[in-house]
Structure 1
Amino acid sequence: MADRYEYQTISFARKGVFKAKFNPDEELNRLGAEGWELVAMYTAGAGVGSSDELFATFKRKHA
């Protein structure tokens, strides 16, 4: 049987990352400890700097 995966996408305010309102490394490490692997990070806007939100998509093997 082929591996099965589950996915999770989280969002956070871009200004929170760059103005240090929270530590993104702590959140990434927490998710990594739960078995999640970051597969993509992107903004919702059409161009660079057009969105105040960043989205991160993670995957892990489905139990």
Structure 2
Amino acid sequence: MGTKWEYCTLKYKTGGWLGGKVDEQEFQDELNRYGYEGWELVSCFDTSQGQGASRDIIVVFKRQL
């Protein structure tokens, strides 16, 4: 049988209802925390609010079982 994986999805808030700016250090710290727990980043995308603003950042991680 092949390699087995588990997945984790993180919704990172960029601000209130209208979105906002990302605190880059806070976001990096959060990604590193998952990395230290053995999670590998697979995908990362934002949910558009309009006019270049983002409401949430969706991050998908995986790690081997």
User: Same fold, TM exceeding 0.5?
Assistant: yes
Q: Percent identity?
A: 37
Runs of 5+ in structure 1 lacking a partner?
Answer: none
User: 1:5-63 CA distances to partner (integer Å, 9 max, x unpaired)?
Assistant: 00000101124662x28611111111001110000001244x7846401100000001x
- Runs of 4+ displaced beyond 6 Å: none
Please give the TM-score of this superposition, normalised by the length of structure 2: 0.72
Number of corresponding residues: 60
Runs of 5+ in structure 2 lacking a partner?
Answer: none
Q: CA RMSD in A?
A: 2.6
Please give the TM-score of this superposition, normalised by the length of structure 1: 0.74
Q: Which has the higher strand share?
A: 2
